[in-house]
Amino acid sequence: MTRILIAEDEERIVSFLEKGLRAAGYTTLAVSDGIDALSLARDDSFDLLILDLGLPGIAGQEVLQRMRSRGEQMPVIILTARAGVDDAVRGFEGGADDYVVKPFRFEELLARVRVRLRGAPAAESAVLRAGDVTLDLRTRRAAVGERMVELTAREFALLENLLRHAGQVLSREQLLSHVWGYDFDPGSNVVDVYIRYLRKKLGADVVETVRGMGYRLRTDR
């Protein structure tokens, strides 16, 4: 079982990460300060570290540098609110393998986790398909059959998530957390609003409503 260490001091983010990563099949352990992170982040214990830079005790950047100096080789993904180029450069120079800025979409983080655990560039297709709906992740273009469809950034993210789980029922909470990030309002009707937008653009029967459960992208069109 692949084990992921999460070094993050915001409980809400920790809960969001652990829920998503465990659903994806990973085993997780979370710590809230740099002292514990440095003590536990060893190659014989974990396969990957998700590291916040603003940790109490020992800052994340120092945790990373001290890990690397003692020879730990596990992939490290920095997860931080610091969006400056200089911060990212320092992270990579200190030995980070990737750098994700908060707020973030879980699907993006999960893709980065999978890439780092493989130790190679992503091998998945750049085009997602279900029935007659296609989504090109490189050109960010959607199509229904031969008809091209213009999507907003949020519509694109929602369709991408539905396509990655085509045929599966996704709850409103899952869609909120994966598309809108950890800072979502669980009482919001934004998912229903954007599902209506997609239906108008893709076709009324592309996304099914499963009463009391959520939404499902059809694969039989």
Tens digit of each residue's pLDDT (9 = 90 or more) over 105-123: 888 898 889 988 875 444 4
Residues 65 and 143 in one domain: no
Average pLDDT over every residue of 19-40: 92
More confident residue, 207 or 92: 207
Same domain? For 98 and 142 the reply is no
Integer angstrom CA distances of residue 110 from 20, 67, 102, 184, 214:
8, 23, 14, 18, 22
Same domain, 88 and 175: no
pLDDT of 121 reads 42
CA dist 216 and 209 (Å) reads 7
169: domain range?
Answer: 127-217
| Shared-domain flag, residues 36 and 102 | yes
**Cα 22 to the chain's mean position, in Å?**
13
For residues 100 and 9, state if they share a domain: yes
With 50 as the cut, is the pLDDT of residue 93 above it? yes
Q: Which amino acid is at 127?
A: V
Whether residues 186 and 105 share a domain: the answer is no
Please name the residue ranges forming H helices in 130-179.
153-164, 172-175
**Average pLDDT, integer, range 161-178:** 87
Q: Are residues 50 and 155 in the same domain?
A: no
For the residues 130-146, what does the mean pLDDT come to? 88
- Residue 183's pLDDT band, with cuts at 50, 70 and 90, is low
CA–CA dist 143, 187 (Å, integer): 31
Query: Do residue 97 and residue 133 come from a single domain?
Result: no
User: Where among 118, 142, 163 does a domain terminate?
Assistant: 118
Q: If you search the block for the tokens 């514990």, which residue do you land on?
A: 36
> Average pLDDT, stretch 175-185?
73
Reduce the DSSP state of residue 99 to 3 states and report it.
Answer: strand
- List the Cα angle 70/80/15 in 5-degree steps: 95
Can you give the pLDDT at residue 120? 42
Q: What is the CATH number of the domain that holds 11?
A: 3.40.50.2300
Decide if 77 contacts 116 (C-beta within 8 A). Answer: yes
Instruction: Please indicate, yes or no, whether residues 105 and 16 belong to a single structural domain of this protein.
Output: yes
Residues 108 and 19 in one domain: yes
* Local structure of 156: helix, strand or coil: helix
Name the domain boundary from 118, 147, 162: 118
Between 134 and 84, where is the model more confident?
134
- Which of 158, 167, 173, 184 is closest to 213 using CA atoms? 173
61 and 84 fall within a common domain: yes
Statement: residue 182 has pLDDT above 70: no
Tokens at residue 175, please? 């869609």
Do the Cβ atoms of 78 and 100 come closer than 8 Å?
Answer: yes
- 142: number of CA atoms within 13 Å, CB side? 22
The pLDDT mean for the chain works out to: 87
Locate all alpha helices (DSSP H) within 24-72, ordered by sequence.
34-40, 60-69
Of 180 and 15, the structure prediction assigns the larger pLDDT to 15
6-21 pLDDT per residue, tens: 999 999 999 999 988 9
**How deeply is 187 buried, as exposed, middle or buried, from its count of CB atoms within 10 A (0-12, 13-18, 19+)?**
exposed
Backbone angles phi, psi at 87, to 5 degrees: -65, -45
Domain end call among 56, 83, 118? 118
Q: What pTM did the predictor assign?
A: 0.61
CATH number for the domain including 183? 1.10.10.10
Quick check: 71 pLDDT over 60? yes
